[in-house]
Structure formats: C-alpha cells, structure tokens
Structure 1
Amino acid sequence: MRIAVTGSIATDHLMTFPGRFADQLLADSLDKVSLSFLVEELEIRRGGVAANIAFGLGGFGLSPVLVGAAGTDWADYQLWLKEHGVDTDSVHVSADRHTARFVCTTDADHNQIGSFYPGAMSEAREISLREVAARTGGFDLVVISPDDPEAMLRHTRECVGLGIPFAADISQQLAVLDREGVRALLAGPAYLFTNAYESVLLQERTGWTEQQILGRVGTWVTTRGADGVHIEQAGVRPLDVPAVPPSGTLEPTGAGDAFRAGFLAGLAWDLGHEQSARLGAALATTVLETTGTQTYDLRRDTFLGRLRDAYGAPAADALAPHLKALR
C-alpha cells in the first residue's frame, strides 16, 4: 500500500513544569491571566503531525510520501526523514518563512499549554496532490492531517475528485474551522481519526449526531488514552482494543501521531482493525515514554515483547513477520 501523509511539519520546543497549572489559575480571574512558569527542562525536537506519522511509517519500512510545507531551515530535517525512510521530494519549501514551530509546556499532571506558529505551513495550500500522485505513481491512501486549513480542504477535494481513498484527521484544526469547513473534510473518508474529546467536539462543530457522522465515514477510530481505542463502523458491532500499559516517565506529545502510524502500517499489511490498533497502541506507548516525537528507537525483540505482554503470544506472533524492518 502506497500512503501519502499531508499535514504539518514543525519543530517542537517541549518544556516541563514541575507544578500544576491548576494551582496557578484563579477561577475568578481567568479573564486577566498573566502567568509565567519556571520550567525545569527544555527539549528541542523535530515534529509536526504529518512528519511524525511519516517517521513512524518509515520506521516500519513503508516509505510514505510526506506532503507539506517547510521553511528555509528545512535541510537538516529533510535529511533526517530521508534517512528514516520517508519520501520528502514533494515537500514545498518556502523561500522566506521558517518551518512551523510548536511551543508546549507540560505540568506534573500531564496537562499541556501550547502555542503553534504556522510559518511555512501557510503555503501548503499551494501543493497539488494531483501533481504529487503523478510523480509517485499514485496512492492507495492519503492521510489528511492537521495543516493549513485551506490546504486540508484542497487536498480533501482532490482526493474526492481523483477517487483516492483518504483518512480524515482534523484534530487540532477543529478549533479554527467553521461548520462548513469541518463538514467539507468529512466528504466520505475511508477512515476518521479522533481522540475522545475531539469525537464530542466534532459533533458540536458539524451539528451532526454520532450516527450521522458514522453514515458519512467508512471507519471511525477514537483513541481514549489509557482506556484504549474504540473503532466503529455503521451497522457493525464496535471494537474496543485495550491500551498498552506504559512504564517510566510519561510525555504525551506525539503519542496520537504514533498510534496513527502503527494503525496505518497495519492497514498497509492488511492485518485488520484489531491487529492494526494493537500495533498503533504499542507504538503510541513507546512514544509516550520518550521525550520528543521522533526520538524513539524501535527494537524488534523489545517491541514484540511489549505486544506479547499486552495482547498475548498469538497476537505478537501474527505481527512478527511484518516487523522485519526493525533491528
């Protein structure tokens, strides 16, 4: 399966605050917030939703095509992704803007406060999926992940017009898109990805019920953190897959992107929804235990051991033949 991933390419500045945000916020003064948090750690990492998903797919040996916009500081990041199996030749490089930047602080309760500077990402709307498909020989699936809103709308329209199956991953952009825009992104995707909060917000934004949304998508995949993954299809009994228990220090940035990479890898290998979700959950927990979104090092034996502990030997044995790209 040939997969293209459209969306953000960014640099992450991740900070850790040892206290709790809730202790610093005054309920009767939330209209006049002016706070500064003294952080203990700063990690500068490569990120962006599309780049994170593509990195995960590349690690499994699937050679995804990354479609997005980066800035004048792109060269080192591009080399990194190429070294990890990602086709970056369709990335648009801005002549005068920096690559997008995500600045995020995480407190002791794993709550996060973040800001996102789009930079070059604003030029992603100039990318033609038709041209990318012509260069690469076409796609079996295109992932429409958070990006410049106009780019998301354009790429969705192009998928529909070209008859290319696509996965809708609106995520953070639910906060900025209007009702018409959100509805346009649900123009018959083969897959819809949300987390538990986004699944509720999506209904509010579209004005559609859960069943109405299910009638417009092929498969709706909802991640629920420690409660695992919920998978629904219209007229089919829902499927729930438990999470893989983490150990050690947790840093949640990028875990959702990793789940998507693992799940999509399972689809590429035609493993079915349950095994794909297990693969995604195991990769998500691997990232959860790592600071940064592309700093994890997958080891085949360790990863299979994690799958075996969480889901049993038969599940791990079924996945093992597909993990040959891991060391």
Structure 2
Amino acid sequence: MRIAVTGSIATDHLMTFPGRFTDQFLADRLDRVSLSFLADRLEIRRGGVAANISFGLGVLGLRPVLVGAVGSDFEPYRVWLKQHGVDTDSVRVSADLHTARFLCTTDRMQNQIATFYAGAMAEAREIDLSSVIRRAGRLGLVMISPDDPEAMVRHTQACRKLGIPFAADPSQQLARLGKQEVLELITGARWLFTNEYEEALLQERSGLTKQQILGKVDCWVTTHGAEGVRIDRDGAEPLTVPAVEVAGVVDPTGVGDGFRAGFLAGLAWGVPEEHAAQLGCAVAATVLDYVGTQEYRLYRDSLIGRLRTAYGPEAVAHLVAHFRELT
C-alpha cells in the first residue's frame, strides 16, 4: 500500500531548561505572564509532522510520498529524506518564504513550551493532490497531518472526491480550527489520530460527544503516553495496547510521529491493528532514546527484542517478516 503524508515540514530548534516551568508561574499573575527561561542546551534538528512520519515509514522500508511546502533552504533536508527512503518529488518549494520553524523548550519534568512559525507552509494550500497521484501513482492511504488549515481541508476534500482512504491527524492545529473545519477534516476518515488531551479538545471544538465522533470515522486511535494506546470503533469494545517501557527518556519530541509511522507501516503490511499499534509503540519508545525527531535508528534485533519483551512472541511472529529493510 502506497502512503502519502501531507503536512508540515520544518526545522526544529530544541532547547532544554534545567528547572520546572511550573515553579516560575505565579497563580495571581497568570493574566500577565512575561517569562524568560535560560536554556542550557540547543539542538537544531530536522522536523515537521509530515516529514517525521515519512522518515519513520522510510526507515521501515516503505517509500512514502511526502506532500508539503518548503522554502529554498530545503535542499539539504531533501537529500536527507531521500537517503532514508522518502519520495520528496511532490514537495512544493516557495520562491519567497523560508521553511517552517518549530521552537520548543523542554523542562526537567518533560513539560514543553513551543512556538511554530509557518513560513512556506502557508503555500501548501496551492498543492493539488490529483497532480501528486498523476506523478506518484495510485495511493492506498493519505495521512493528513497538521498543515496550513486550508490545505488540510483541501486534501480531505480531494480524498473524498477521488475515493482515496484518508487518515485525519488534526492534532497541533486543533487550537485554531473552527467547528466546521474540524467536521470537514474528520468526517469519513478511515483513521483518526489524537493524543489524550487532543481527544478532549476535539470534542470541544467539534461540539460532538465521543460517541458522535465515532459515528463519523471508522477508527479512532488515541495515544496516552506511558499508558499506551486505545483504539475505539463505534459499537465495539476498545482495544488497548500498553506502551513499551523506556528506562530513561532523553527527549519526547516527535514520539507521536514515531508511533504513527510504526502504526501506518503495520497497516500497509496488512498485520492486525493490535500488532500495528505494538509496532507503533516500539518505534515511539526508540524515538524517546534520542534528541530530535529523525535522529533515531531502527535496528532489527533491537526492535525485535523490544517487541518480544513488551508483547511476547506473537507480536514478533506477525511483524518480523516485514523487517527486511532493517540491519
């Protein structure tokens, strides 16, 4: 199954603050916050949700089609993605704007404060999904991840018109989406992805109950951090998959993107969704071992070991045959 991933492509500026953000807030001054955190480390990394997911899919041996908008400064990043199995030939290059920037500070409790500059991402609304298909061939799934809101809606509408299954991952854009936009993005989705906080925010933004949302999508996948993943379907009992334990978290940035890459790879291989979620959790655990969202490596024996320890031999039996691209 050929997967296209639409969404943000960005450069991440990741900083660490040795204290706790919460110690700096004054309860009676929250309406006039003016804070500066002295970071003790800066890492400049490649990022963006669509690029992160595509990187993970590429490392796992699929050849995803990355769809998004970047600036003329993208060329070194393009080379990197191509080296890791990502088809970047449908990426739009802006003549005027820089590639998007993500600035994130993490405290010692793994809380994060972040700012995102869209830059060239605003031109993603100019991308025609039909032209992507003419170039890359028929798509089995389009993953619509956070992007320029107008682009997200346009890609969703194109998938419906062209009869292509799509997955909805509004996540980081939920804060700025209106009710009608949210409904447009999720209605008819084969898969809906959120984390625990976004699950509640999605209900608030859409004005729908959880049950009503489940009536509009085939399947809702919610990540719960260290508590694992829950998969819901209308009229069925939830499927829960525990997380893979990680002894010491190095950096949580991009862990959700790693899960999505592993989960989508499992779906592309046709394994049962429980085992696809287990692979997603194992990839997510690997991301936690590294600073940055595309710095991790997936080694066959290490991945098999994580799966066997967390989920037993059955999970390994369903997945191991698909690890041919891993060393």
Q: Same fold (TM over 0.5)?
A: yes
- How many Å apart are 1:72 and its aligned residue? 1.2
Counterpart residue identity of residue 42, structure 1: L
* Cα separation, 2, equivalents of 1:143 and 1:117: 22
TM (norm. structure 1) is 0.99
- How many Å apart are 1:314 and its aligned residue? 2.4
The gaps in structure 2 that reach 5 residues or longer are: none
SS at match of 1:237: coil
Match of 2:120 in 1: 120
* Cα separation, 2, equivalents of 1:76 and 1:282: 29
Match of 1:195 in 2: 195
Counterpart residue identity of residue 139, structure 1: L
Counterpart residue identity of residue 94, structure 2: S
Q: Deviations over 1:212-252 (max 9, x none)?
A: 10000011000000110000111122100000001223311
Counterpart residue identity of residue 13, structure 1: H
SS at match of 2:221: strand
TM (norm. structure 2) is 0.99
SS at match of 2:238: strand
Do structure 1's residue 13 and structure 2's residue 13 form an aligned pair?
yes
SS at match of 2:296: coil
Cα RMSD of the aligned pairs, angstroms, is 0.7
- How many Å apart are 1:87 and its aligned residue? 0.2
* Cα separation, 1, equivalents of 2:300 and 2:186: 36
* Cα separation, 2, equivalents of 1:157 and 1:287: 32
* Cα separation, 2, equivalents of 1:260 and 1:46: 17
The gaps in structure 1 that reach 5 residues or longer are: none
Alignment of 1:217-256 (within 5 A): 217-256=217-256
* Cα separation, 1, equivalents of 2:121 and 2:111: 26
Match of 1:264 in 2: 264
Alignment of 1:1-327 (within 5 A): 1-327=1-327
- How many Å apart are 1:32 and its aligned residue? 1.5
- In 2, are the aligned partners of 1:263 and 1:279 still within 8 Å (CA)? yes
* Cα separation, 2, equivalents of 1:215 and 1:314: 32
SS at match of 1:296: coil
SS at match of 1:139: coil
- How many Å apart are 1:2 and its aligned residue? 0.5
SS at match of 1:46: strand
* Cα separation, 1, equivalents of 2:137 and 2:226: 39
User: Size of the alignment, in residue pairs?
Assistant: 327
Counterpart residue identity of residue 114, structure 1: A
SS at match of 2:253: coil
Percent of aligned pairs with the same amino acid: 65
- How many Å apart are 1:187 and its aligned residue? 2.2
- In 2, are the aligned partners of 1:160 and 1:187 still within 8 Å (CA)? no
- How many Å apart are 1:37 and its aligned residue? 0.7
* Cα separation, 1, equivalents of 2:84 and 2:67: 16
* Cα separation, 1, equivalents of 2:48 and 2:138: 24
* Cα separation, 2, equivalents of 1:95 and 1:217: 38
* Cα separation, 2, equivalents of 1:7 and 1:184: 16
- How many Å apart are 1:161 and its aligned residue? 0.6
Of 311-320 and 261-270, more deviation after overlay is shown by: 311-320
SS at match of 1:200: helix
- How many Å apart are 1:27 and its aligned residue? 0.9
- How many Å apart are 1:324 and its aligned residue? 0.8
- In 2, are the aligned partners of 1:126 and 1:151 still within 8 Å (CA)? yes
Q: Deviations over 1:79-133 (max 9, x none)?
A: 0000000000000000011100000000011110000000000000000001101
Q: Deviations over 1:178-220 (max 9, x none)?
A: 1111111012000000001111110110011111100000110
* Cα separation, 2, equivalents of 1:241 and 1:298: 21
Q: Deviations over 1:153-175 (max 9, x none)?
A: 00000001111000000001000
SS at match of 1:114: strand
- How many Å apart are 1:318 and its aligned residue? 2.3
SS at match of 1:110: coil
